[in-house]
Amino acid sequence: MRGGQRLLRVIGLHPLESLTVMPALGRPMTSDDGLPGDDKLGHGGPVAQPPVSERSLEPIGVAQRWACADQRELWRLPPSHQRAADELLVLGRAGIGGFIEGGPDPSDGRPWLVRAQIETKLPALLGTHEGLPLSWRPVVGLVADLARALAAAESRGLFPGLLRPTNVVIEPSVWVLADALVHARVDAPSDPSPTAELRREWLTPAAAAGQPDDASSNRWLLGLLLYRLLCGRGPFAGLGLRSAIDRASQGVPPLPDVIARELPPGLQGLILRILAPAPEQRVSDAATIHAELTGFLREGAPADPNPNTTLSFVPPRAPAAASPQPDPPPIAANVSATPRPRRSGRSVVRRILRASAVVGVVCLGVIGGGVLLDLAGDPQPEPQIETTPKPKIGSRAPLDAAHTSPEDCASCHPRQTAEWKRSVMGHSAKSPLFQALEILIQEQAGRSDDCPGGAGVLRTQDPRTACRDPDTNIAITGSGGELWCANCHTPRENLGAVLPAWDGLALNSSTRRPLRDLQPASTTEGIDCGFCHQVHGPVRPGSERAGFYEGNPSWLSTVTGQTFEMRPEDRVGQAGIANSGYILDPAELIAGAPGRPDAPLVPGGVHRRPSDDARAYLRSSQFCGACHDVRLFGTDAIAGPNRGEHFRRLRNAYSEWADWASLERRAGRDAADCQDCHMSSFPGVCVSGDPPAPVAGEPDIVALRNGCPPGTHFESRNPGELPHLRVAAGSGEPSDVSTHYFSGVDIPLTPEFDDHYIDQPELDAAGIPLGGDQRRDLLLGRSFRFELGEPVLVPGGRKLEVPVVIENTGAGHKIPAGFSQEREFWVHLRITDAEGRVVYEVGRVDRGDEDLRDKLFVSVNVSDRIVNQQGQPLGMFGADVRDGPDVPQWQSLDGGGEFDPATRFRGRGLINLQNGFLRCVKCIGFIDRAGRCLPRDASQELHRAARFDDAPFDIDTGECQSNLFGEESLFEIYFPVGSLDATRGVVKGPDAIIDLRSAPPGVPMQWTYDLPISSFKAPFEIEAQLLFRSFPPFLIKAFADYETRQAAAGLRPSGPLVTREMLSKLEVVEIATHTRTVAAP
């Protein structure tokens, strides 16, 4: 059995030999046919009968076609095309065109042909193994079959068309479509796809030179296919088109050593000869390629007459001196190929072959970071091969200030670099929403006729070009905190400042560009190796007044000139919490940096070892707190009066953790740090064996099943449990190491974070999924207890009470945390009666880009067409919003405000843990006796904000000077920066931030639905799903429309920062599902 057919048999397919090949038609075969003698077809034997057809198909040229019962095609040609039928059958036997049966029709003598079934084409195999190397034997067999087909075509002087993946059939037999060649023989017009097609993945030298493709292009593609299947990615992966063309002209890189050492001697050399940069160096014909590939199959044939032909990822041999590795966990005998149910609609085919690959994935510990790095992106320097228990590290120059990027660190730390590439940290600077929100604030906040370019309230100030408050002449530019956004998202700015001071006065200025158009590539690496490992500790309070870096500890009121502090922790000796409160010292890493002259170096002298203080800080939650508490200038209308704080808490992950950790310590328990959860094996790993089946009546934690590839199941790990791997490529014994995935719940929208990073269920050496989707799912699955309480059918059958319980059981902070105003956690509840009628449904969305239905956006304005007398835009990033069918109507049953939030509710409508923004308003409608603002007339019923207007707000004190009181004076808006509605209000940040909806750690929250059911019949089926989405679609749509306008105005040199195409990355994630039945009383 040929190698390619063994590949097919693994996935339940039938090899070519199982198909009947009938005698050729018309004439004896001669040596001129160009096929080996044992493949010649001659006359003799009984006359074959054509198969029974079921339905007619559209003719192709002179060929009439029918569909057969077995999904093959019957073709009938006129007698004049006898020779064409002969040729098609001969080529079909060689794998060109797919015709594998034929004969003269006994009734009229007309030639007939049967074309093989097309079940699966090559893209299915490429997609399902993407990113992981396949074992060499079935790969070589498959490509040998294709080389044999091309050799047959070359020997007859035929070109079967370009060997694109879509032209290659692999199930149930291997053959090339060659439609242009086939159509020409039946007098059908040919409509070939254009040759010289510039596609990076399958780039040919002819296409790169703008020339037509020919037989030499197909030989080149055979080499690319070998490279791609053996390595998991092609030689041009991660390159732009221009870079791929340059790479092709220079020669492809050798296969990674961890792959090459598992190949039979000479196979890599053949691949590199096929892909040689100079035409005269390449293999000159497909027959030679076929002969050499089949030679490898013969020489490497296993002694067992019935070898295991399983398509799997075979781990390379361990180096001779490597320390003993534990045996891999046992692999289930039957690996399920059941696709994981996902709401994203991603292809199920991608997972079918991967089920058989779990063996190799779980066993990848030997090659670890080296292969993972190759899968993560651009080709990296190969890891060092161990030859002694303590090998020497490959020589390289010591790091300096210009060489501390992940690419510089990859040669010694491939695992960490590969993990970082798959992390949100690696895309913090590239984040489209971050970039768009940052420039929106600078362009629109404070904009007026006196400040036409926007005030640049969070950029660097130059007194000569700063916008100023017209009443006090205090500079608005930079008053909210210079580089307030950049200090955490692009922290390398503090290692080499390049951003110009904002000029809001000029009509046009190059200083008013997005960060990505102003900062170098090294800065847009985001939170990378060079930043974290040059951090020394927290900033020292008072450093800013002395002219040194202190992050953004304060803001300046342009109304009174008063400076307000934003780090109350400084007063209790906990310095550097929030607003980039870290301090950098290159001497912590760079050997040549001044300071710490006696600091020890790592072996090889490439960089210094960190000081004890720096090491302790990097391992502490305080380091994370420097950026994961974010405090905005201006006093919060709620927290200001209640807490005496003169800032607004935008993100509170560290503060929430600190509160939880304090409770844990009081209870006598050790509190996990941030790194214990986000830089470890927590929440768990995937191990061999099918997951347990859901138990009827019990909550089904769907996310834990979705997060592990087929044939494996989730196994929990505690916070702080670390993988046992090598720290660096040259390390000796393995040790406990920190992971660098920094796993969270967001999937970056940046185009660089493509499907290869998003949805890849394969596992790393520790059993952690490589894909961002999968790691997110595991984290979400460990985060909640979600269940339906016991439903109550009220006596009389007129009302049904359905309790829904959510408890944050897996996080040391609230959920959602971070930018909790944009993360949606909600419940989809559906109740049907005995006749299948829907009794009640809430929280349903059918697509990832569909907004929740608690509110309806009638209009969203991203234009500056409306201005007031001062030239300030009105209504920009404002929305006219109406109540939707799922509008929440909940009454709290306990709690009493900010310090005692409610946890029990009764009513109906949407349950959503997402926080929000509030704006100080006054009522222009009618105020009832309860102090609520009601519409005065029909015009004030058009949307929610119509009965309100902006009220004066004191940014220093947080006082809302409204004719309403308490919560009634604050109106919910839906953008972090914007206006009251689509036509009114100037652009500004929120006056208060909602932080009471998210779920605190260890506190059960219960919502009881109170539903009338008098017209429905029991029993009732109840299904509740806990769902998650990282961004609301309306937010992406608004920023995309704004960015389109700004780009059209010439304000985005690199194009729009956010586009509507990014909506396709929004996925509704099913965390858990619980169903119950309520019987008739």
Three-state DSSP at 1047 gives helix
798 compared with 463, residue with greater pLDDT = 463
- Please give the distance of CA 73 from its chain centroid, rounded to a whole number: 41
| Architecture category of domain 120-299 in CATH | Orthogonal Bundle (1.10)
**Mean pLDDT to the nearest integer, 456-463:** 97
Structure confidence by residue, pLDDT tens digits, 264-285: 888 988 998 898 888 888 888 8
One-letter identity of residue 1055: G
Cα-Cα-Cα-Cα torsion 640, 645, 647, 652, nearest 10 degrees, comes to: -100
Cα–Cα distance between 1067 and 1072 in angstroms, integer? 15
For residue 212, give Cα distances in angstroms to 200, 208, 215, 283: 17, 10, 10, 19
How confident is the model at residue 211, as a pLDDT?
81
DSSP string, 573-614: T-TTTTTT-EEE-GGGT-TTSSS-TTPPBPTTSSSBPPPHHH
Cα–Cα distance between 761 and 769 in angstroms, integer? 6
> What are the beta bridge partners of residue 630?
651
Q: How many CB atoms lie within 10 A of CB 279?
A: 10
Which pLDDT band holds residue 130 (cuts at 50, 70, 90)? Answer: low
**Mean pLDDT lowest among 210-224, 316-330, 606-620, 624-638:** 316-330
For residue 777, give Cα distances in angstroms to 344, 684, 704, 740, 1027: 13, 11, 6, 17, 11
How confident is the model at residue 389, as a pLDDT?
38
pLDDT at 192 over 60: no
How confident is the model at residue 301, as a pLDDT?
58
For residue 486, give Cα distances in angstroms to 251, 567, 824, 900: 40, 18, 26, 35
Cα–Cα distance between 207 and 200 in angstroms, integer? 10
Which is nearest to 651 in space by CA: 894, 880, 818? 818
- pTM as predicted: 0.69
Structure tokens at 875: 């209504």
Structure confidence by residue, pLDDT tens digits, 329-377: 333 333 333 333 344 433 333 333 433 343 333 333 333 343 333 333 3
**Mean pLDDT to the nearest integer, 717-728:** 91
Structure tokens at 399: 């790091």
Average pLDDT, the chain: 84
How confident is the model at residue 1021, as a pLDDT?
97
Structure tokens at 142: 């498959």
Structure tokens at 665: 């310590």
> What are the beta bridge partners of residue 904?
1006
In Å, the largest CA–CA distance within the chain is 105
**Mean pLDDT to the nearest integer, 665-676:** 96
**Mean pLDDT to the nearest integer, 397-423:** 91
Kindly give the pairing relationship between strand 889-892 and strand 904-908: antiparallel
Cα-Cα-Cα-Cα torsion 482, 484, 486, 488, nearest 10 degrees, comes to: 140
Say if residues 1034 and 982 touch (Cβ distance below 8 Å).
no
pLDDT at 848 over 70: yes
Which is nearest to 840 in space by CA: 932, 909, 916, 752? 909
Cα–Cα distance between 1069 and 1063 in angstroms, integer? 15
Structure confidence by residue, pLDDT tens digits, 544-555: 988 899 999 999
pLDDT at 391 over 60: no
Kindly give the pairing relationship between strand 563-565 and strand 175-176: unpaired
DSSP string, 492-551: GGGTS--PPPP--SSSS-TTSS-GGGTS-TTGGG-S-HHHHTTEEEEPPTTTTTTTS---
How confident is the model at residue 23, as a pLDDT?
29
Structure confidence by residue, pLDDT tens digits, 677-695: 999 999 999 998 989 999 9
What is the C-alpha R_g of the chain? 33
Structure tokens at 762: 């394969």
Question: With helix as H, strand as E and coil as C, how does 103-125 read?
Answer: EECCCCCCEEEEECCCCEEHHHH
Cα–Cα distance between 674 and 787 in angstroms, integer? 27
Structure tokens at 23: 């005698």
Query: What proportion of the chain, given as a percentage, has pLDDT over 70?
Result: 83
Question: With helix as H, strand as E and coil as C, how does 337-351 read?
Answer: CCCCCCCCCCCCHHH
Exposed e or buried b per residue across 735-746, where buried means at least 16 C-beta atoms within 10 angstroms of its C-beta: eebbbbbbbbbb
> What are the beta bridge partners of residue 651?
630
Which pLDDT band holds residue 190 (cuts at 50, 70, 90)? Answer: low
**Mean pLDDT to the nearest integer, 640-660:** 94
231 compared with 797, residue with greater pLDDT = 231
Structure confidence by residue, pLDDT tens digits, 556-600: 999 999 999 999 999 999 999 999 999 999 999 999 999 999 999
**Mean pLDDT lowest among 1-15, 832-846, 938-952:** 1-15
Which pLDDT band holds residue 262 (cuts at 50, 70, 90)? Answer: confident
Kindly give the pairing relationship between strand 63-68 and strand 948-950: unpaired
Structure confidence by residue, pLDDT tens digits, 693-702: 999 999 999 9
Exposed e or buried b per residue across 97-125, where buried means at least 16 C-beta atoms within 10 angstroms of its C-beta: bbbbbbbbeeeeebbbbbbbbbebbbebb
91 compared with 340, residue with greater pLDDT = 91
**Mean pLDDT lowest among 198-212, 368-382, 469-483, 841-855:** 368-382
Structure confidence by residue, pLDDT tens digits, 902-928: 999 999 999 999 999 999 999 999 999
Say if residues 484 and 468 touch (Cβ distance below 8 Å).
no
Structure confidence by residue, pLDDT tens digits, 1041-1073: 999 999 999 999 999 999 999 999 999 999 999
Structure tokens at 3: 């190698």
Exposed e or buried b per residue across 250-267, where buried means at least 16 C-beta atoms within 10 angstroms of its C-beta: eebeebbebbbebbeeeb
How confident is the model at residue 40, as a pLDDT?
33
Structure tokens at 183: 């159509």
Query: Most confidently modeled of 127-136, 1012-1021, 1049-1058?
Result: 1049-1058
Cα–Cα distance between 13 and 120 in angstroms, integer? 10
Query: What proportion of the chain, given as a percentage, has pLDDT over 90?
Result: 62
For residue 200, give Cα distances in angstroms to 217, 627, 922: 14, 38, 59
pLDDT at 930 over 60: yes
948 compared with 310, residue with greater pLDDT = 948
One-letter identity of residue 934: L
Cα–Cα distance between 919 and 645 in angstroms, integer? 18
Q: How many CB atoms lie within 10 A of CB 324?
A: 6
How confident is the model at residue 377, as a pLDDT?
39
How confident is the model at residue 430, as a pLDDT?
94
How confident is the model at residue 205, as a pLDDT?
84
**Mean pLDDT to the nearest integer, 9-27:** 30
pLDDT at 318 over 60: no
- Please give the distance of CA 102 from its chain centroid, rounded to a whole number: 50
How confident is the model at residue 109, as a pLDDT?
84
Which is nearest to 740 in space by CA: 770, 773, 719? 770
Which is nearest to 423 in space by CA: 779, 139, 71, 179? 779
Cα–Cα distance between 676 and 663 in angstroms, integer? 18
Say if residues 109 and 78 touch (Cβ distance below 8 Å).
no
Domains in the chain: boundaries: 120-299, 363-421, 425-675
Cα–Cα distance between 751 and 132 in angstroms, integer? 21
Three-state DSSP at 65 gives strand
How confident is the model at residue 624, as a pLDDT?
97
DSSP classification of residue 794 = -
